[in-house]
């Protein structure tokens, strides 16, 4: 029972390390991305450290030689990383909301980007409409030209028609 509890503690520690690294990686691509380089590096280090006990347990279980030694201070040593990672994850969440409040949005840049995207969208719509109208006008002009010049039908058809009329 105690061994399973320690395994769950190490799994939960690894999960929290992964969540903190994933959150830092996600925030790295936000507007305040350069603030998240150091927390991401620290989270990846924590993740690497937390994976090593799980790796030792997994390889020991595969070989059948892993044994857990239960000592009075082992339970404390297993829980301390969990507490540290839990505090670290809380700090990341707090840091995210603090940055969101302190670093203001660049409204001018956001409005400019929105206007640029809207202008490009309207340009695509107007270009399609212009091309459709140009094709329609070209077809109309070709049809009118053929009717006026008498070349609505191919020349060999006209020759066959004239030959048929003469006979």
pLDDT at 37: 92
Q: What is the pLDDT of residue 143?
A: 85
**What string of H, E and C letters represents the secondary structure of the chain?**
CHHHHHHHHHHHHHHHHHHHHHHHHHHHCCCCHHHHHHHHHHHHHHHHHHHHHHHHHHHHHHHCCCCCCCCCCHHHHHHHHHHHHHHHHHHHHHHHHHHHHHCCCCHHHHHHHHHHHHHHHHHHHHHHHHHHHHHHHHHHHHHHHHHHHCCCCCHHHHHHHHHHHHC
pTM: 0.55
- pLDDT tens digits in sequence order for the chain, 167 residues long: 556 677 788 888 899 999 999 999 998 888 778 888 999 999 999 999 888 877 777 776 555 544 545 445 555 666 788 889 999 999 999 998 888 887 777 788 889 999 999 999 999 999 999 999 999 999 999 888 777 776 667 777 877 888 888 87
């Amino acid at each position: 029972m105690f061994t399973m509890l320690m395994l769950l503690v190490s799994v939960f520690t690894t999960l929290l390390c992964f969540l903190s690294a994933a959150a830092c990686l996600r925030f790295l691509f936000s507007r305040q991305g350069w603030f998240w380089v150091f927390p991401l590096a620290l989270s990846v280090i924590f993740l690497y450290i937390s994976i090593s006990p799980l790796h030792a347990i997994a390889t020991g279980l595969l070989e059948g030689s892993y044994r857990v030694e239960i000592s009075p201070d082992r339970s404390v040593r297993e829980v301390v990383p969990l507490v540290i990672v839990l505090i670290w994850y809380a700090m990341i969440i707090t840091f995210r909301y603090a940055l969101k409040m302190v670093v203001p949005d660049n409204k001018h840049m956001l409005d400019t980007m929105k206007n640029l995207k809207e202008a490009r969208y309207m340009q695509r719509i107007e270009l399609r409409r212009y091309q459709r109208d140009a094709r329609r006008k070209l077809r109309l002009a070709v049809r009118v030209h053929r009717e006026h010049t008498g070349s609505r039908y191919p020349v060999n058809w006209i020759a066959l028609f004239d030959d048929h009329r003469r006979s």
